[in-house]
Structure 1
Amino acid sequence: MSGKVMTFRGHAYRSLDPKGRLMLPQEFRDVVLSAGQHGRVILTNFDGCVVGYSLQEWEKIEESFQRINMLNRQLRDFQRFFISGAMELELDKQGRILIPPHLRTYAGLTREVVLAGVGRKFEIWDQERFEEQRRKMEEGFDLVMDALAESDCELRI
């Protein structure tokens, strides 16, 4: 893939099968496979959804946790929550991942889900929760645009 960092983008509506397996969109599978880790992903709990990372990205996250101040109780609690929720999984031959029960429960995943590409990671949302999050964002759109204007992020439209 010529050294270019591939990112997850877009979103897709999917259904979990009765065993909790989820077919990743082809574009997401391509990103996972381009990382050269034999289709391995890390799933964890975050922000009310299940978050997926390539193994390569996850290793950067774990390394960054080595630099946190362990005297700070909130940071220790977050590290415990985030890292202990993580599971390493491998895509099966059909391009599916099995979402572990603890992550399905955390994110309220039952049947209908949305996979959302968010740059270096992808998110798996219960469809109703995802639509609610989109509505909330749309309601606060002007505030978000103001915050972007004050940050280092340039949004050229």
Structure 2
Amino acid sequence: MFFRGLFEHTIDAKGRTSVPARFREVLTGNYGDRLVVTTAFDRCLHVMPLKNWEALEARLGQRSSMEPGVKQIYRTYVANATEADVDKLGRILLPPNLRAWAELTKDVVWVGQIKQMELWSKAGWEKASADALSVDHEQDIARVFREIGG
């Protein structure tokens, strides 16, 4: 099972947001309730099952930390990663630094990304999704679909 779809939610005053029910089903059936949340380069948050995060860490650990790209991943992606448990009400607590990075205040959008999820501010998602559908990205999208036979 994969994470797919788009779900609008809110963040409460304590920084908690509900994981969409559909995503919780995928988690419960395949991964458990432990997540890792970290910054993404697009001013959103990446949210993934702990199991997937650990696999990513293992692959990164095989690379030299002296490589400039690896060093930057450690300093941004890994350094900001935090574990989050889904509570009995289906919510996770987002730390202030991650909320600030993604400009999450009230209205948020959860976006399925097959093996992980993204968490966007509503305004950020509207801009990013409009940009993704622009003519500038048509050739990139078409190339990927050709490569995967879609």
Q: TM-score, normalised to structure 2's length?
A: 0.91
- State percent identity of aligned pairs: 28
Q: In the alignment, which residue of structure 1 is the partner of 2:138?
A: 142
Match for 1:49 among 44, 48, 62?
44
1:107 to 99, 102, 108: 102
Note if 1:86 corresponds to 2:81.
yes
- State the TM-score, normalizing by the size of structure 1: 0.88
Aligned 8 A contact 2:109 2:125 in 1: yes
Between 1:128-137 and 1:76-85, the stretch displaced more is 76-85
Equivalent residue runs for 1:23-102 within 5 Å: 23-37=18-32, 39-47=33-41, 48-102=43-97
Report how many residues are paired.
Answer: 148
**Unaligned 5+ runs, structure 1:** 1-5
Superposed structure 1 runs of 4+ greater than 4 Å apart: none
Question: How far is the alpha carbon of 1:148 from its aligned partner?
Answer: 1.7
**Structure 1 residue 142 displacement after superposition:** 2.1
Letter in 1 for 2:5: G
Structure 2: gaps spanning 5 or more residues: none
Q: What do you get for the CA RMSD once the two structures are aligned?
A: 1.5
> How many Å separate the matches in 2 of 1:56 and 1:145?
29
Question: 1:49-81: CA deviations, max 9, x gaps?
Answer: 111111111110110111223222232122221
